[in-house]
């Protein structure tokens, strides 16, 4: 494996100093995914204490660890002094081997961010940054598929789109790659711009504006303004890819003009879109092979591609990826050919059969996250899925603030149109339950664990089961319970 960061590069990028110099083949922040030869970055945070895992990282083969300076100093002191000679507050969180390879920095998040900036600075390829209320990760994976056919492509693993995820993506960026795709997310105002300026994209994509995080930002216009901050990081001559169907397109175009964006490419069903959706068919194909045949017009040319992912929203994600590829100079036909056959990921629309007593059901796994727009899109897919019975298993949509009760109750028409029975959990989903007609069978539980006990025995052969909710609603517990049922069947 080639060296990603030499010791000299690590020191120059972070301004840190070594106890023992080392090169690194990769960068990790979690010992569970660490590979031998990685630099382990011991991040601190509200729910993260990386310092407690340094010894484990080294035992798993890490080349070395980036730690806050005082941690390294305490460990050095502990190696040379008897523990009883140190005050308790100076003792290290764990004992490290004598001569442990450490890179000492003032703050590990700042060190990781500096390493990400250095990774971006030495990169001669093209960078695409993607943000939006819905579809960021799916669009990223679609674009990864397209660009991989063109050259070595590096992209964020999982949904690494926050204040540590974007630096981590860039710190892992091979200098000889042709393309890099970074995903940019936010919960509060002011979070997108610093990530965009760190990534310095050649192409910036906004997938959609919806009510995600409206509890923190207050309005859709404020969400659009925050998403548009990605344009402030664009390189000179950069391209903005914007959703033509959005009510906020005028606001996004104004932001692009204010940012001095050189070129705008739009995508969507709007007749004026540069990458135009002309039709989606085949959405009612049976079973886990369900998909869509998508017809697109690009620069006057009609292009067809098939996704192993039903739903108009998936087709629009494909258009966003095609538009980004077009902005990079990839031929539309080549992009569509590479995109063909894309299948959604676990928790984001993956479909798989479930063995249940007496037969088979179909799971539509949308358990990773939810907001009003994505919930309606998933319910539309459920409605179009052939099944003896369509079952909606729904958890709270979070970070909606005062809008929460109204947003949940407003789902009722989409639920009625899609589901033959409903299972819901969480305090906010009570507002949906109250808005449903009495003739629609519906049950509610306090949380996902309690709901799983209701859902699992209710599933029958021939059912199509949609599981969806915000990450904090922990709907993956229900998916896991259904899969255990399948294992036992």
Is residue 456 over pLDDT 70? yes
pLDDT bucket at 78, cuts 50 / 70 / 90:
low
User: Domain for residue 88, yes or no?
Assistant: yes
Q: Is pLDDT above 70 for 284?
A: no
Residue among 447, 486, 437, 454 at smallest CA distance from 470? 447
pLDDT, one tens digit per residue, over 82-97 is 434 333 333 344 568 7
Q: Judge whether 463 and 389 are in contact, CB under 8 Å.
A: yes
How much is the pLDDT for 13? Answer: 98
Number of domains making up the chain: 3
- Asked if residue 241 belongs to a domain, the reply is yes
CB 75 within 8 A of CB 96: yes
At 309, the pLDDT band (50, 70, 90 cuts) reads confident
pLDDT of residue 72: 56
Question: Do 22 and 87 belong to one domain?
Answer: yes
Q: Is the pLDDT of residue 22 over 90?
A: yes
131 and 265 fall within a common domain: yes
Q: How many CA atoms, within 13 angstroms, populate the side-chain half-sphere of residue 399?
A: 20
CATH assignment at residue 194:
3.40.1190.10
Instruction: Write down the mean pLDDT value for the chain.
Output: 90
Question: Is residue 2, in this structure, part of any structural domain at all?
Answer: no
pLDDT at 102 over 50: yes
User: 489 pLDDT exceeds 80?
Assistant: no
Q: What is the pLDDT of residue 275?
A: 97
Q: Write down the pLDDT at residue 16.
A: 96
Q: Is the pLDDT of residue 298 over 90?
A: yes
Query: In terms of domains, do 364 and 293 share one?
Result: no
Measured distance CA(62)–CA(58) in Å, rounded: 5
The reported pLDDT for the residue numbered 93 is: 45
Residue 299 pLDDT class (50, 70, 90 cuts): confident
Residue 366 and residue 333 in one domain: no
> Do 320 and 172 share a structural domain?
yes
pLDDT tens column, 429-452 = 999 999 999 999 999 999 999 999
The burial of 47, by beta-carbon neighbours within 10 Å (0-12 exposed, 13-18 middle, 19 or more buried), is given as exposed
Q: Same domain for 299 and 370?
A: no
| Cα separation, 276 vs 326, whole angstroms | 13
In a domain, 318, yes or no: yes
Q: Which CATH number goes with the domain that contains 414?
A: 3.90.190.20
Q: What average pLDDT does this structure show over 61-69?
A: 94
Does residue 220 carry a pLDDT above 60?
yes
Q: Is residue 147 part of a domain?
A: yes
Q: Is the pLDDT of residue 319 over 90?
A: yes
For 226-278, write each residue's pLDDT tens digit.
999 999 999 999 999 999 999 999 999 999 999 999 999 999 999 999 999 99
Percent of the chain with pLDDT over 70: 91
| Residues 447 and 311 reside in one and the same domain | no
- We report the CATH number of the domain holding residue 100 as 3.40.1390.10
pTM: 0.84
Pairing assessment for the beta strands 203-206 and 179-183 based on DSSP bridges: unpaired
Shared-domain flag, residues 444 and 314: no
The per-residue pLDDT for range 350-365, each reduced to its tens digit, is 888 998 888 999 999 9
pLDDT of 290 > 90? The answer is no
Which of 111, 133, 149 finishes a domain?
111
Q: Is residue 311 part of a domain?
A: yes
Report residue 74's pLDDT band, with 50, 70 and 90 as the boundaries.
Answer: low
Q: What is the mean pLDDT of residues 97-103?
A: 89
Kindly state the average pLDDT of the residues 378-390: 93
Q: In the listed set 339, 360, 384, which residue is the last one of a domain according to the structure?
A: 339
> Does position 322 have pLDDT exceeding 80, yes or no?
yes
What the block records as the tokens of 160 is 């690494």
Between residues 85 and 33, the one the model is more confident about: 33
Residue 117 lies in a domain: no
78, 111, 144 - which closes a domain:
111
Kindly state whether residues 311 and 427 are assigned to the same domain. no
In a domain, 447, yes or no: yes
> Which residues span the domain enclosing 359?
350-488
Residues 377 and 329 in one domain: no
Say what percent of the chain tops pLDDT 90: 73
Q: Which residue has the higher pLDDT, 285 or 291?
A: 291
Do 323 and 364 share a domain, yes or no?
A: no
CB 362 within 8 A of CB 287: yes
189 has pLDDT over 60: yes
Task: Select from 42, 82, 44 the least CA-distant residue to 64.
Answer: 42
Question: Is the domain of 324 the same as that of 458?
Answer: no
Residue 75's pLDDT band, with cuts at 50, 70 and 90, is low
Q: Which segment of 4-13, 143-152, 329-338, 339-348 scores lowest on mean pLDDT?
A: 339-348
From 340, 321, 411, 428, select the one nearest 374 (Cα to Cα).
411
């Amino acid at each position: 494996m080639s060296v990603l960061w030499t010791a000299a590069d690590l020191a120059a990028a972070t301004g840190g100093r070594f106890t023992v110099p080392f090169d690194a083949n990769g960068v990790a922040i979690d010992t569970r995914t660490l590979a031998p030869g990685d630099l382990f970055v011991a991040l601190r945070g509200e729910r993260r204490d990386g310092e407690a895992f340094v010894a484990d990282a080294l035992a798993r083969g890490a080349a070395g660890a980036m730690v806050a300076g005082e941690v390294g100093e305490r460990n050095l002191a502990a190696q040379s002094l008897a523990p009883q000679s140190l005050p308790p507050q100076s003792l290290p969180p764990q004992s490290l081997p004598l001569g442990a390879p450490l890179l000492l920095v003032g703050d590990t998040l700042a060190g990781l961010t500096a390493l990400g900036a250095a990774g971006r600075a030495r990169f001669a390829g093209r960078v695409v940054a993607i943000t939006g209320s819905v579809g960021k990760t799916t669009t990223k994976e679609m674009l990864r598929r397209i660009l991989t056919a063109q050259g070595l492509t590096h992209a964020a693993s999982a949904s690494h789109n926050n204040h540590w995820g974007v630096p981590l993506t860039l710190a892992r960026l091979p200098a000889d790659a042709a393309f890099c795709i970074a995903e940019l997310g936010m919960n509060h105002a002011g979070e997108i711009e610093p990530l965009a300026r760190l990534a310095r994209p050649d192409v910036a994509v906004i997938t959609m504006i919806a009510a995600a995080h409206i509890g923190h930002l207050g309005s859709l216009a404020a969400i659009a303004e925050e998403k548009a901050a990605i344009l402030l990081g664009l390189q000179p001559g950069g391209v903005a890819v914007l959703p033509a169907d959005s009510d906020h397109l005028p606001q996004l175009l104004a932001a692009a003009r204010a940012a001095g964006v050189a070129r705008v490419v739009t995508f969507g069903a709007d007749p004026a879109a540069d990458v135009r959706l002309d039709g989606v068919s085949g959405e009612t194909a049976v079973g886990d092979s369900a998909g869509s045949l998508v017809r697109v017009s690009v620069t006057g040319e009609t292009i067809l591609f098939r996704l192993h992912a039903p739903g108009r929203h998936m087709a629009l994600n494909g258009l966003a990826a095609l538009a980004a590829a077009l902005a990079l100079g990839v031929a539309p036909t080549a992009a569509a050919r590479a995109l063909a056959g894309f299948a959604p990921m676990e928790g984001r629309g993956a479909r798989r059969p479930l063995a249940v007593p007496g037969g088979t059901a179909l799971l539509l796994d949308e358990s990773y996250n939810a907001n009003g727009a994505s919930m309606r899109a998933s319910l539309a897919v459920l409605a179009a899925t052939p099944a003896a019975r369509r079952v909606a298993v729904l958890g709270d949509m979070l970070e909606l603030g005062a809008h929460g009760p109204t947003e949940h109750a407003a789902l009722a028409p989409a639920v009625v149109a899609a589901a033959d029975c409903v299972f819901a959990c969480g305090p906010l989903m009570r507002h949906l339950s109250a808005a449903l007609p009495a003739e629609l069978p519906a049950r509610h539980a306090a949380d996902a664990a309690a709901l799983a006990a209701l859902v699992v025995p209710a599933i029958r052969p021939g059912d199509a089961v949609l599981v969806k909710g915000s990450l904090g609603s922990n709907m993956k517990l229900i998916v896991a319970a259904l899969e255990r049922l399948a294992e036992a069947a």
